Amino acid sequence: MPFPEINTQLTTPAKILIVRLSSIGDIILTTPLLRSLKTAFPNARVTFVIKKQFEELLVSCPYIDELVTYDKKEGFTGLKKLKTYLGNQHFDLYLDIHKNWRSRYLRLGLHAKSTRGYHKLIFQRTLLIWFKINLYGKVKPVYERYFDSVKDLGLKYDGLGTEIHYGENIAKKVRIILTGKGYDFIKPLVVICPSANHYNKRWKSSGFVETAQYLVREKSAFIVVHGGTEDVKLCAEISNSIGHQACSLAGSLSLAESASLLQFSTLVIANDTGLLHMAQSQKKPVIGIYGPTTRELGYFPIEKESTVIETSVSCRPCTHNGLESCPKKHFRCMNDISPEMVIQAALSYLP
C-alpha cells in the first residue's frame, strides 16, 4: 500500500468521508456501516463518494449528508477536480473502504486527522485461490470487515442487515409495470437474476428455466427475469422458454426501480451478483447460486433468510471476481448444481 493509514484516536469526528466507488453489491454492503456511524455520531457530517452510475443506490440514504459522484467518463481530470474539492473540506476521518488506486489518490492533499481502510486479506485470498491453503480462521463477510477500521470508536455491526431507500413514486411505477405484464399480486412473485459480470459465475440457463417452470406449475408462481442492459438477450431467452407466466424486465428499470421490484417479490433466485445483495436490502429471501467463489471471500448473502446452493468440488475457489471460462474446463462447480437442488430450497420459502 503506497499510503500508510493514519490511526489517530478520534472520539467524536465532526466530518467523515467515506469512499466506495463501485459496484452495486459492494455499495449496498456499506449500508450497515453508514447506519452505525450515523447512530454513533448523529451530529457528524457524513460525505460519501460514489461513481455517478451508482448514485441512485444511496441518493435517498438517511445516513448520508452529502453524496459526491465521480464520473468515470471525465477520466483523471475529473478525479483531480474531486480531490481538490474534498481537500477543501477538512475531514476528521477518511474511511477508504474501496482501497484501489483512485481512492488512494483521493487521499493526497486530504489532510484528514485519521485515515482508515478495511482489510482486504489479499494474502489469505491468494493462498486460498492459488494453493487451496485456508488461513482465514473465522470467516468474516465484507460488511463486517468494514467495521474493523472503526472498532476503536466502539462501532460494531448491529445485525439489521443492509438497506436501500427510494420514494413511494418508484413503487407505484413498478406496480403499474408488473400489472401490465400480467401479474395480479395474489400469486407468488419469483424474481430470477440469471446473469453475472463474469461467465463462470453464471448457472446454466436451462437450470433457471426448469426451476421456474416447476414453480409456475406447482406453486402458480409468476416469474420475472431481471438484469441490466447487457443482459436483455439472455433474460428474454429465459423468459420466453419459461412460458406465458413469465416476463423479462432486464434493461428497463433503474436501480431504484429494480430495488422496488425486488421488494414486491416473494423470493429471489440469483447468481453471485449485485441484485442478490439488493434483494437482501429489501428484506426478501434469496437463494444464491455460487460456483467459483466461496464463503471465505466475503460475498455470500447475509445468513438470515437466505440459502446458498453450492458444490464441494476441490478446485473452489478459483477466482475472486470471476473468470470468462473454467480453468479446469469441466465447470463442475456450476454444472453439478441441479434444478432439483434449487427447487427444494425454493419450496421452503413459497406458500
pLDDT for position 328: 95
> Each residue of 105-142: pLDDT tens digit?
999 889 899 999 888 999 999 999 999 999 999 999 99
SS3 call for 308: strand
Average pLDDT, integer, range 255-281: 98
Average pLDDT, integer, range 270-285: 97
- pLDDT > 50? residue 182: yes
Q: How far is CA 181 from the centre of its chain?
A: 27
Q: What percent of the chain has a predicted confidence (pLDDT) above 90?
A: 92
166 versus 1: the higher-pLDDT residue is 166
- pLDDT > 60? residue 2: no
Dist CA 320 CA 347 (whole Å): 30
> Each residue of 286-298: pLDDT tens digit?
999 999 999 999 9
Dist CA 337 CA 321 (whole Å): 20
* Helical (H) or strand (E) element with 50: strand 45-51
Sign of the CA dihedral with 149 first, then 155, 161, and 164 last: negative
- Strands in 15-19's sheet, in edge-to-edge order, are 66-70, 45-51, 15-19, 93-96, 114-117
> What distances in angstroms separate CA 262 from CA 45, 86, 142, 290, one per listed residue?
31, 35, 22, 20
- pLDDT > 80? residue 176: yes
Question: What per-residue string of b and e applies to 137-167 under the rule 16 or more CB within 10 Å gives b?
Answer: eeebbbbbbbbebbeebebebeeebbbbbbe
> Each residue of 20-65: pLDDT tens digit?
999 999 999 999 999 999 999 999 999 999 999 999 999 999 999 9
Structural domains in the chain, sorted by start? 15-153 (3.40.50.2000), 168-347 (3.40.50.2000)
Average pLDDT, integer, range 241-245: 96
In DSSP notation, 236-286 reads HHHHHHH-TTEEE-TTSS-HHHHHHHHHH-SEEEEESSHHHHHHHHTT--E
Dist CA 62 CA 34 (whole Å): 9
Lowest model confidence (mean pLDDT) among 136-145, 184-193, 226-235: 136-145
pLDDT for position 10: 72
- pLDDT > 50? residue 300: yes
pLDDT for position 4: 63
- β partners of residue 48: 18, 67
Q: What percent of the chain has a predicted confidence (pLDDT) above 70?
A: 98
Confidence of residue 88 (pLDDT cuts 50, 70, 90): very high
Angle at which helix 168-180 crosses helix 255-264, to 10 degrees, equals: 70
- pLDDT > 70? residue 3: no
| pTM for this prediction | 0.95
- pLDDT > 70? residue 8: no
Average pLDDT, the chain: 95
- pLDDT > 70? residue 270: yes
Confidence of residue 1 (pLDDT cuts 50, 70, 90): very low
